[in-house]
Structure 1
């Protein structure tokens, strides 16, 4: 019997996995340049953290969490998202007592028990960024721009930004009441009617066509914003425009978590079908208090690595054979292997990516391996080369081959690949 990955999960396999690493690095690069520091949190947390922070009425908490009891009797949950864990860590370690804002980024795996389909898995990977301790529209705009810069660095051209505001604790109750009054008059199933009473904004996020068709005339939160929220939202919009960012005002945009306030945004890609979102986020000024901390405003996003891979495939941006190494070494015989090994080590220590042929392959087999590696150069060492004290350096693109003294191979290849 050969075991298989659990339903709704998958393995990233070479060469596609190399692209995944490059995508993750590209999405993280802009926030690192903007002063965000790396944070890593446990892959599981106290279940109450997500019940309080994410929201007990959300689909994530009611249907999708992987929850189990530890041997000590504690209820633990595999993290379904990253923000609550980051906030918990910041509060636990007292970072809010230092310079503000606290700017953090992270990358890792998350878990939700969902119906598997293209672009939606039970195990998925995200890059996230959070800025805590500043209620400043410039931070909201900064994070949005940094996410778009990450997508642009990958060559993606069809990512669109949807933007909305969900108001604050002062103005949202009025909107909530107006929305509930509207929703109570619709033809909804019992479970959705129950949701209307607990968290009516979640109904706006319902993906079923029979529900969405009835929401055409639903009241909009943008029409119920208080003066402070209107001014905050207009400032975010103005900063984005000043930075040359195009966006679409989407007054019915909500997020799947209870902690969001004010700025809400989503990045979508037209090439992914129903699962069009490749990332999103927003402001969550009340989350700290929800999980027992002091007032600590925050804003952040999570970008789906898996969805970004699909978006790049939709735009034809993924190489079928990404280059993994700069140089491939081909020893012909036992003595050549002994002599070429320190060369390989020296090249690697010089900062080059180098692989070599193993297992005593023939010249033909070793050169096929060099070609498959995607290396720019091959270093070939045979009996005649050993006698001459030189190695053959072959340009795998042009086929040109030159003899280089063994003592100069490292410097020559460093020079050619610099």
Structure 2
């Protein structure tokens, strides 16, 4: 007997009816970005491995442990994309977008890949929506990016999340902080791997999720206590813009994102209904990334990545029931072959008017077809048989209140569309 194939471990399928919620979440998060003028960019699924090693940071878990890296048939090392920012910056440089109007505002959506232990909310193929605003270092732009993410979550119906923000400084204050943090860390009894991480990028140690490391670093110096005047002023300006936009937030001075390129404004959206995998999205500003990737000029940028999968789980935790529910509005019930021929045409005309329409196929009887109409969630059922065809009429049944009326066949499209849209 042939073995039954299954999806690879940690790679979810999106199937009806739950797939409708996934699509609705992705579309709402993307819509919030489009309304703010972010144009779509479609990124390659895999890129040169060096792009991520250089851009994301070799000291990160993403690069050192989690990337899907392999040699192609030309013996080139390529990697399935683990995140979006490095690829966007590569595309901006390759196509000269940085030489046009600034900021370059781009949004993207799709799958990203990380080799992790599969569990609820943590998949090896994860779905994200992201934005990047490149070329302008302005606190108002930082606030806009954060507000877009907040608006996207609210459009989905989420309410039980919180926004945490901090600043990770810049070259005016990070050297002094790095020195103080390393002095603290080297005084601890660290394992060899963690000590090497502290030598390369000590902030990575503060991002370690192991309980023993979290306890050992509880009293570590904080970046927010080492800020230069310019960075502190920048952070206060970002907070002021968020206040005026009505975006609620908490300052979390211990917040550390898992990628090396973040500087200054850094943020994360957290939902406590998800347990250990509580992050539903986050991002920050990245200074210096363009030069690391070979850019001839240094342009700052800010962006985010929002988890579509985790947002769906958060909606389920909040028991938000209606988002993405199948919205068939009209269901055709044909009684005979001639009636089916006519309803197929009517369905096309209704769809052209923006009315979601389905039909009972397969020659089902009236009782079975009406059960299908009820299951579809449609507002109206259009019942058509030979007698109605001969009279040039059709029965329109309101499935919400059970009422029924007779409408002329050549008027039913306008009649139903007006009832639904009026």
Give TM class, smaller chain: over 0.9
Alignment match, 2:306: 303
Provide, for residues 176-197 of structure 1, a one-character-per-residue CA deviation record: whole Å limited to 9, x for no partner: 1110110111222221111111
Moved over 4 A (4+): none
- Partner of residue 86 from structure 2, selected from 66, 81, 84: 84
Displacement of 1:57 = 1.0
- Establish whether residue 204 from structure 1 lines up as the match of residue 206 from structure 2: yes
Give the Cα separation in 2 of the matches to 1:117 and 1:77.
23
Q: Structure 1: which 5+ residue stretches go unaligned?
A: none
Q: Give the alignment of 1:84-233 within 5 angstroms.
A: 84-233=86-235
Displacement of 1:383 = 2.1
Give the Cα separation in 2 of the matches to 1:241 and 1:367.
53
- Partner of residue 272 from structure 2, selected from 262, 265, 270: 270
Indicate if the aligned counterparts of 1:102 and 1:133 stay in contact, CA closer than 8 A.
yes
- Partner of residue 358 from structure 2, selected from 355, 363, 386: 355
Query: How many pairs align?
Result: 418
Please tell me the root mean square deviation across aligned C-alpha atoms, in Å.
1.1
Indicate if the aligned counterparts of 1:321 and 1:374 stay in contact, CA closer than 8 A.
no
Provide, for residues 249-269 of structure 1, a one-character-per-residue CA deviation record: whole Å limited to 9, x for no partner: 111111111110100000001
Alignment match, 2:334: 331
Q: Give the alignment of 1:278-297 within 5 angstroms.
A: 278-293=280-295, 294-297=297-300
Provide, for residues 375-411 of structure 1, a one-character-per-residue CA deviation record: whole Å limited to 9, x for no partner: 1111111122122211111111111111111101110
Indicate if the aligned counterparts of 1:166 and 1:222 stay in contact, CA closer than 8 A.
yes
Give the Cα separation in 2 of the matches to 1:14 and 1:324.
13
- Partner of residue 390 from structure 1, selected from 390, 393, 400: 393
From the superposition, tell whether residues 321 and 64 of structure 1 become closer, same or farther in structure 2 (CA, over 3 Å): closer
Indicate if the aligned counterparts of 1:19 and 1:318 stay in contact, CA closer than 8 A.
no
Indicate if the aligned counterparts of 2:17 and 2:326 stay in contact, CA closer than 8 A.
no
Alignment match, 1:373: 376
Give the Cα separation in 2 of the matches to 1:376 and 1:254.
49
- Establish whether residue 18 from structure 1 lines up as the match of residue 27 from structure 2: no
Give the Cα separation in 2 of the matches to 1:27 and 1:307.
13
Displacement of 1:320 = 9.0
Give the Cα separation in 1 of the matches to 2:74 and 2:191.
40
Indicate if the aligned counterparts of 2:23 and 2:324 stay in contact, CA closer than 8 A.
no
Q: Which deviates further from its counterpart, 261-270 or 240-249? A: 240-249
Secondary structure class of the residue paired with 1:52: helix
Give the Cα separation in 1 of the matches to 2:190 and 2:327.
54
Secondary structure class of the residue paired with 1:213: helix
Alignment TM-score, normalising by the size of structure 2: 0.97
Q: Structure 2: which 5+ residue stretches go unaligned?
A: none
Displacement of 1:69 = 1.1
- Establish whether residue 246 from structure 1 lines up as the match of residue 242 from structure 2: no
Secondary structure class of the residue paired with 1:23: helix
Alignment TM-score, normalising by the size of structure 1: 0.98
